[in-house]
Amino acid sequence: MAGAPSGAYDNVLLSHSMTVSGDNLSAATDLFIFVKPGNIENDVVPAASGDLPLGVSYGTSKDGGDIPVALVGIVKLRLAGTVKRGNALKVNSGTADGRAIRSAHDGAIGAIAMQDGASGEIIAALLTQGFGT
Question: Is beta strand 11-20 parallel, antiparallel or unpaired with respect to 43-46?
Answer: parallel
Does residue 122 contact residue 70 with C-beta atoms inside 8 Å? Answer: no
CA–CA dist 24, 20 (Å, integer): 8
What does the pLDDT read at residue 132? 58
Task: Determine phi and psi for 102, rounding to 5 degrees.
Answer: -65, 135
Give, for all 133 residues of the chain, the pLDDT tens digit.
344 455 546 788 999 999 998 878 999 999 999 999 998 889 999 999 888 899 999 999 999 999 999 999 999 999 999 999 999 999 998 888 999 999 987 678 999 999 999 999 999 999 997 665 5
Residue type, 125: A
CATH topology of domain 1-133: Virus Head Decoration Protein; Chain: A, (2.40.300)
- Domain layout of the chain by residue ranges: 1-133
What does the pLDDT read at residue 34? 96
Q: CA 102, 129, 89 angle in degrees (round to 5)? A: 5
**pTM attached to this predicted model:** 0.90
Does residue 49 contact residue 27 with C-beta atoms inside 8 Å? Answer: no
